[in-house]
Amino acid sequence: MDSVLDLAAANLLSPMILFFALGFFASMARSDLSIPEAIAKGLSLYLMMAIGFKGGASVAQFGIDATLLKALAAGVVLSAAMPLIAYRILIATTSLPKVDAAAVAAHYGSISIVTFLAMSEILKSAGIAAEGYMVAVAAAMETPAIMVALWLAHSTGKAPEGKASPRSGGIDPEMVREALLNGSIVVLIGSFAIGCITGEKGLQSIAPFIIDPFKGVLCLFLLDMGLIAGRGLRDGARNLTPGVIAFGLYMPLIGATLGLGSAWLAGLSLGGSALMITLAASASYIAVPAALRLALPEARPAIYLPLSLGVTFPFNLTFGIPLYLALAGLIH
Amino acid sequence: MDSVLDLAAANLLSPMILFFALGFFASMARSDLSIPEAIAKGLSLYLMMAIGFKGGASVAQFGIDATLLKALAAGVVLSAAMPLIAYRILIATTSLPKVDAAAVAAHYGSISIVTFLAMSEILKSAGIAAEGYMVAVAAAMETPAIMVALWLAHSTGKAPEGKASPRSGGIDPEMVREALLNGSIVVLIGSFAIGCITGEKGLQSIAPFIIDPFKGVLCLFLLDMGLIAGRGLRDGARNLTPGVIAFGLYMPLIGATLGLGSAWLAGLSLGGSALMITLAASASYIAVPAALRLALPEARPAIYLPLSLGVTFPFNLTFGIPLYLALAGLIH
Amino acid sequence: MDSVLDLAAANLLSPMILFFALGFFASMARSDLSIPEAIAKGLSLYLMMAIGFKGGASVAQFGIDATLLKALAAGVVLSAAMPLIAYRILIATTSLPKVDAAAVAAHYGSISIVTFLAMSEILKSAGIAAEGYMVAVAAAMETPAIMVALWLAHSTGKAPEGKASPRSGGIDPEMVREALLNGSIVVLIGSFAIGCITGEKGLQSIAPFIIDPFKGVLCLFLLDMGLIAGRGLRDGARNLTPGVIAFGLYMPLIGATLGLGSAWLAGLSLGGSALMITLAASASYIAVPAALRLALPEARPAIYLPLSLGVTFPFNLTFGIPLYLALAGLIH
Amino acid sequence: MQTYPKKRIDIMIEAPLMARVLATLDGNGVTGYTVLQAYAGRGQDGPWHRDGVVGRAGALVQVFCIVDESRMDAVLDSVFEVVSRQIGIVTVSDVEVIRREHF
Amino acid sequence: MQTYPKKRIDIMIEAPLMARVLATLDGNGVTGYTVLQAYAGRGQDGPWHRDGVVGRAGALVQVFCIVDESRMDAVLDSVFEVVSRQIGIVTVSDVEVIRREHF
Amino acid sequence: MQTYPKKRIDIMIEAPLMARVLATLDGNGVTGYTVLQAYAGRGQDGPWHRDGVVGRAGALVQVFCIVDESRMDAVLDSVFEVVSRQIGIVTVSDVEVIRREHF
Ligand SMILES: Nc1ncnc2c1ncn2[C@@H]1O[C@H](COP(=O)(O)O)[C@@H](O)[C@H]1O
Ligand SMILES: Nc1ncnc2c1ncn2[C@@H]1O[C@H](COP(=O)(O)O)[C@@H](O)[C@H]1O
Ligand SMILES: Nc1ncnc2c1ncn2[C@@H]1O[C@H](COP(=O)(O)O)[C@@H](O)[C@H]1O
Ligand code: NA
Ligand code: NA
Ligand code: NA
């Protein structure tokens, strides 16, 4: 237990978390600090490219085995199953309308890649190796939750169809294509593939760009995430009831538990398990909101965005990460 | 004297100054070269983050002593006193209306962080150490000058109040809050604090991002500053009388002398003195103009911007820096 | 022949080309991946600054000789002569109107700096040195082709003058000034000059910015070029007849042959020859289109942009580069 | 100078919906349209700012389109169908153009 | 399609003043507004360009707001109070909207 | 609040032409103008998007200018001369302004 607390303290006092906190409190204090959208997008592209490439190069070096398939399958099942659980809990414990409950559920089935990055850095600092293909698992977990949540919203029959044209509701193939080909996933998976192809040699040739400054760039990016999360919470807190906020804090723990089981079933290493738990515990705030605005416009972003960004994301980053690493230790 | 000239020559032929000159002449020749606003803002955030963090980490390493408080106090006093001097000189030697004189005075009391960065680099190349907390002194010197100048403008009674609503004139608390929480200061002081907390270990973990490429990034940023300064001078020179231009060249020397005295009183090291002198000699072109557009809209940006950006900034960067370093040598 | 194939394979499997391919196929698959304009502009500035500076520093180190002048002269002659050849071929083999033929011809006389960068990287990986002043040759080759093409368009008399005002046609001095002072050229030549002045010492001081991460940044930039080229081809392919597409594939070979001759005449090294051949073979898609929209608005961008960007650029990057290096080997 | 009366349709829409609105305009045979990116705003759902938004959701774009009056109703009907379930503000105003052929 | 007449108020203002103008609009109970970022311009004080400006000062933003005619005068009066001492251009024009409830 | 009728001229133009159009406006003695950067669009020549364009060519900017009716024809004539050979859309609409001196 000692080491969990040590880990937690070390995490809270790392530059990454402190920059996040700086952004968070700057927003709360209504500072005019902001990072231009173009820069934030550029940093995010860089992070996807770097993490994908490194994962691919590591696969090229250590090879793949049956665990890859098991981990992928576990990820997809988790992403599809968690919204069902989340939805039931929300209906039972909060007064959210069904359509909002389905929308929130989708976020918790999907993942936050930044939380994944933060866990990867913690593992790296602690000298714990992880399966390189976990980035592919991360990519695979982004979308299934959206499909399940849409099915929930429409099958429970309460989505107000109104005068909507057929193509603005339901799961149409165009939407699936869009979700699968969204920019971040393409860069992540594409860089992963390039890493696999060019291997250690390719990695060496661009290491001064994608490895050396990585952690510093992540700090700058987390400063921006802190600004956004703080703003989200500041503007959005009044829309969240205590029951909903509580959900944003315990649902990650439920996800983490399921992630732990999946990691164990798939036979992942300590580092891989920590990443799988983190993915399960994390909630989306990019891919899912964008998809839902198109496919489930009745669901209110003013509920799901502050919850995922302003409550769950900071919780995972600060307290979740050391806890999930400790959890992973239970099966190794 | 020899070594001053050597220093001056070395400074003029450094990549930093040459990139500044490239930008300056490109603007003068009406090239369409420009650096997108988002990139310039991103570079500036990076520079604030890096300089703040490094300062903080150095404080963590070497500790603080009473000099810190003395230097902070000296900085605040300087920032508040210089506008009074500058204002009197302007009223006595130029035909600027009082409101413009007060506005210009505010700029010379406040500071230019880029000039500070350039001096830091020169010190680093010359192997001269400086107190890490000088970045905190820089931050503390940004705002007092604005308050004093507003008081000048309003107390000399000539600010045309006209039909203005009460909240668009005077020193209201909201404005003070805005000035203190402006983005650059938050990043500078926040990174300083993070550097203090995470110390040498934190610095090492992000050094490949914030230390190694620092000088190169500064060169690119100075290219942009050159473009902006050149454009400012090109479009604005016609608004400046010879008396005003002369003020833009000798006021830094007055500031430098006062800075020298303060550095001596505060007991700063050679490097710290050079930085203090540079801060006193430099003139703001970011924080002060933004604040004045709100609080003193009658003052003409067409006067104060070209003067600070197109006259004083290039002067300090090219001739000022070696001179200020030599001045610092007088008390060590 | 073996080694050419090896080289070709190595090139095709390098991270640079794979990132280009990733972008290309992402566009083709209509992914929403995009790189913000400001980031793309920032990356491009960085690349110009880095390549210019390195070239200049290498000139400072190895000195210049008569070859420099010969290479510059050869470059200017090539840039002016190739549009004449290209124009004739287009008129003879395609049904393009004269004004479009002249416009296309201008692109093939001018150069693509990114193709040049890619060749430089290949040379660097292969440990082949090249004359640092080749960046100056590249800059010198950008503009002459435009002048010749405008003269072609107007002298062949078929440019529909219509009710156009005199200043919107012909070669006016303002346009020449604009073309010579365009942003990329100013940064390239300016950084070259700064590299010459500050030499190896200057280079060392900013190497962690302009040398170490260079290849990685180029990969990210090529991802964007792939996106743009793919989009250009996707939207523009229907405007291109087979004859025009074929021209986009064999004209680089004609250019390469002329480049080979010029390199031989100028007495360039193996690396320098490979770069000269690459410049001759490459086609512009930045400077020339911008100039033509002003000076030859009747020419259709829907023809010249997809041809240069979507056909010739990918061809050069993938198959051209190893071939041109092999060609350079013929004279060494 | 001779000018001709046309209608300008302005559609403020969330960025993720942009592709769908443009496809609708394409399907209605308008001769062209232009998109501007909004920077910040506030509505019934609270404020937003481009620099404070992650991903595409949340930020708005403004699509405008100059059309002949004769085509206006058809365009409005089909645009309305797309935006009726989402955030979307549509305005119409009178403009004069100087090149008639273009619209 | 049924449309309803409203007024569109456009306010060009220096970026540092934006927060103050938006607060004024908020205080006047307008249902919403949108801000666009201008790129360049020229006025009596000379030219400016977004890429050539340091800090926030100098660049302009354009705030627009669709309001009911009944509310227009109140909005204009209070906006004018804010912009009267600064650079600021305010225009009003007629538009038709398709969703009446929104404004 | 007292307002005064003016004309708003909007000129959509390719970015490389911007300098020329602004010089024309300067030459016509307009009191000022503002430029917005467009983000994407489609016309007879197909679609474009700011993030998918290399260099300056291809992207559009929108120049607008509030002028007095008396000056409108002169401005339109000379702008038309510049844009007649290029891509360019010019519209004119009615606006009311609150500060008469400014235009
Ligand atoms: N009256 C209005 N005038 C201009 N823009 C508006 C107005 N109302 C809403 N908007 C814009 O539309 C967005 C969504 O509005 P709403 O659906 O009311 O939340 C806001 O964030 C604004 O950018
Ligand atoms: N007549 C006008 N039409 C459009 N924009 C204008 C006009 N006059 C001024 N502006 C804009 O308002 C800014 C300030 O104008 P001024 O206060 O005249 O210096 C200019 O830089 C332009 O961006
Ligand atoms: N009817 C229209 N309404 C608004 N913008 C248009 C219209 N037609 C063309 N445009 C814009 O002008 C550009 C060039 O149009 P075109 O000359 O038809 O290719 C397009 O890419 C659009 O951005
Ligand atoms: Na999850
Ligand atoms: Na000062
Ligand atoms: Na060529």
For E64, which residue in chain D has the nearest alpha carbon? Answer: D41
For residue A1, pLDDT over 70 is answered with no
| pLDDT value for A167 | 41
Q: Is D43 in the pocket of ligand 1 (CB under 6 A)?
A: yes
Task: Please report the residues numbered 5 through 34 in chain C whose beta carbons come closer than 8 angstroms to any beta carbon of chain A.
Answer: 13-15, 18-19, 22, 26, 29-34
| pLDDT value for C175 | 76
Alpha-carbon gap, residue C109 to C145, rounded angstroms: 5
| pLDDT value for B171 | 63
Question: What is the CB-side half-sphere exposure of residue A28 using CA atoms within 13 A?
Answer: 12
Average of per-residue pLDDT across A161-188: 69
Buried b (16+ CB within 10 A) or exposed e, C47-65: bbbbbbbbbbbbbbeeeee
Average of per-residue pLDDT across C227-252: 94
Å between D41 CA and nearest CA of chain E: 4
Contacts of C14 in chain A (CB under 8 A): 198, 202, 205
| pLDDT value for A236 | 86
Alpha-carbon gap, residue C171 to C146, rounded angstroms: 9
| pLDDT value for A157 | 59
Could you read off the pLDDT tens digit of each residue along chain E, which spans 103 residues? 788 999 999 999 988 889 889 999 999 989 999 999 999 999 888 888 888 776 656 789 999 999 999 999 999 999 988 887 777 899 999 999 987 667 7
B178 in contact with A, Cβ within 8 Å: yes
Beta bridge mates, B295: none
For residue B33, pLDDT over 60 is answered with yes
Average of per-residue pLDDT across B20-30: 95
For residue A87, pLDDT over 80 is answered with yes
Cα-based distances in Å from A111 to A3, A139, A140, A277, B11: 27, 9, 10, 11, 51
The answer to whether the CB atoms of B206 and A212 lie below 8 A apart is: no
Alpha-carbon gap, residue A31 to A227, rounded angstroms: 9
Among the partner residues C39, C42, C186, nearest to B33 by beta-carbon distance: C186
For residue B274, pLDDT over 50 is answered with yes
Tokens of residue B138, six digits: 């820089």
A218 in contact with D, Cβ within 8 Å: no
Confidence grade of residue A254 (pLDDT, cut at 50, 70, 90): very high
Percent of chain C with pLDDT over 70: 95
| pLDDT value for C162 | 42
| pLDDT value for D102 | 73
- Cα A49 to averaged position of ligand 4 atoms, centre (Å): 22
Centroid of chain to Cα C48: 13
Alpha-carbon gap, residue B217 to B220, rounded angstroms: 5
C297 in contact with F, Cβ within 8 Å: yes
Ligand 1 mutation target, pool E9, E33, E65, E70, most atoms within 8 A of CB: E33
Among the partner residues D41, D76, D90, nearest to E35 by beta-carbon distance: D41
Ligand 2 atom at minimum distance from E60 CA: 23
The answer to whether the CB atoms of F34 and E60 lie below 8 A apart is: yes
Average of per-residue pLDDT across C98-117: 97
Please, which chains are in contact with C (at least 3 CB pairs closer than 8 A)?
A, B, F
For residue C22, pLDDT over 70 is answered with yes
Judge whether B101 and B155 are in contact, CB under 8 Å.
no
Can you say whether residue C170 is alpha, beta or left, with left for phi > 0 and alpha for psi between -120 and 50 degrees? left
Q: Would you call A150 exposed, middle or buried from its count of C-beta atoms within 10 A (0-12, 13-18, 19+)?
A: buried
Alpha-carbon gap, residue D22 to D9, rounded angstroms: 13
Query: To 5 degrees, how large is the angle CA B225–CA B227–CA B231?
Result: 115
Question: What is the CB-side half-sphere exposure of residue C48 using CA atoms within 13 A?
Answer: 24
Buried b (16+ CB within 10 A) or exposed e, B55-76: bbbbbbeeeeeebbebbbebbb
| pLDDT value for A162 | 42
Centroid of chain to Cα E76: 10
| pLDDT value for A164 | 41
Contacts of A216 in chain B (CB under 8 A): 206-210
Å between B169 CA and nearest CA of chain A: 21
Ligand 3 atom at minimum distance from F38 CA: 23
Phi and psi (nearest 5°) for E43?
Answer: -145, -160
Question: What is the CB-side half-sphere exposure of residue B11 using CA atoms within 13 A?
Answer: 28
| pLDDT value for B163 | 38
D78 in contact with E, Cβ within 8 Å: no
Among the partner residues F44, F60, F92, nearest to D3 by beta-carbon distance: F92
Nearest Cα to Cα of residue B56 among B202, B214, B186, B199: B199
| pLDDT value for C8 | 87
- For the ranges A61-75, A270-284, B313-327, the lowest mean pLDDT is seen at A61-75
Centroid of chain to Cα A15: 20
Kind of pairing between the strands at F60-67 and F88-97: unpaired
Nearest Cα to Cα of residue C222 among C31, C40, C7, C36: C40
For residue A286, pLDDT over 90 is answered with no
Phi and psi (nearest 5°) for E10?
Answer: -115, 130
Q: Is D29 in the pocket of ligand 1 (CB under 6 A)?
A: no
Residue nearest to atom 19 of ligand 2 (CA): E43
Tokens of residue D80, six digits: 């309305």
- For the ranges A166-180, B39-53, B308-322, C294-308, the lowest mean pLDDT is seen at A166-180
| pLDDT value for A163 | 39
Task: Please report the residues numbered 144 through 163 in chain C whose beta carbons come closer than 8 angstroms to any beta carbon of chain F.
Answer: 162-163
Can you say whether residue B127 is alpha, beta or left, with left for phi > 0 and alpha for psi between -120 and 50 degrees? left
| pLDDT value for A165 | 40
Q: Is E29 in the pocket of ligand 1 (CB under 6 A)?
A: no
User: Which of A45, A47, A51 is the best mutation test for C, with the most CBs of C within 10 A?
Assistant: A45
For residue B162, pLDDT over 60 is answered with no
User: Which of A196, A200, A206, A294 is the best mutation test for C, with the most CBs of C within 10 A?
Assistant: A206
For residue C315, pLDDT over 70 is answered with yes
Reported ipTM: the value is: 0.94
Q: Which residues line ligand 3 (CB under 6 A)?
A: D 30-34, 64-66, 103; F 12, 41-45, 48, 60, 87, 89
DSSP summary character for residue A174: H
- Cα F76 to averaged position of ligand 2 atoms, centre (Å): 18
User: Which of E13, E85, E86 is the best mutation test for B, with the most CBs of B within 10 A?
Assistant: E85
Contacts of B235 in chain E (CB under 8 A): 46-47
Alpha helices (H) along chain B: 2-12, 15-28, 37-62, 66-93, 98-109, 113-125, 134-142, 144-155, 173-180, 183-210, 214-236, 242-266, 270-281, 287-295, 301-305, 313-315, 321-330
Higher pLDDT, F1 or A268: A268
Average of per-residue pLDDT across C53-60: 95
For residue C111, pLDDT over 70 is answered with yes
| pLDDT value for D59 | 85
Tokens of residue C261, six digits: 């001759």
The answer to whether the CB atoms of E97 and D80 lie below 8 A apart is: no
Question: pTM of the predicted model, to two decimals?
Answer: 0.95
The answer to whether the CB atoms of B301 and E51 lie below 8 A apart is: no
Positive or negative, the CA dihedral F75, F77, F78, F80 is: positive
Alpha-carbon gap, residue F62 to F87, rounded angstroms: 12
Judge whether B217 and C207 are in contact, CB under 8 Å.
no
| pLDDT value for E83 | 83
Confidence grade of residue D87 (pLDDT, cut at 50, 70, 90): confident
Confidence grade of residue F101 (pLDDT, cut at 50, 70, 90): low
Percent of chain D with pLDDT over 70: 93
pLDDT in tens, F3-59: 899 999 999 998 888 988 999 999 998 999 999 999 999 988 888 888 877 665 678
Alpha-carbon gap, residue B43 to B221, rounded angstroms: 7
Higher pLDDT, A218 or B163: A218
| pLDDT value for E101 | 67
Residue nearest to atom 5 of ligand 1 (CA): E33
| pLDDT value for B94 | 97
User: Which of F13, F45, F54 is the best mutation test for C, with the most CBs of C within 10 A?
Assistant: F54
pLDDT in tens, A188-246: 999 999 999 999 999 999 999 999 999 999 999 999 999 999 998 988 889 999 999 99
Average of per-residue pLDDT across B121-128: 93
| pLDDT value for A226 | 96
pLDDT in tens, B40-78: 999 999 999 999 999 999 999 988 888 999 999 999 999
Ligand 2 mutation target, pool E89, E90, E91, E93, most atoms within 8 A of CB: E89
D51 in contact with A, Cβ within 8 Å: yes
DSSP summary character for residue A296: -
For residue A160, pLDDT over 60 is answered with no
Contacts of E81 in chain F (CB under 8 A): none
Judge whether B16 and C191 are in contact, CB under 8 Å.
no
Average of per-residue pLDDT across D39-51: 88
Q: Which residues line ligand 2 (CB under 6 A)?
A: E 12, 41-45, 48, 60, 87, 89; F 30-34, 64-66, 103
Judge whether A217 and A46 are in contact, CB under 8 Å.
yes
pLDDT in tens, C124-177: 999 999 999 999 999 999 999 999 999 999 887 544 544 344 444 456 777 778
Ligand having the closest approach to the CA of A287 = 4
Percent of chain A with pLDDT over 90: 78
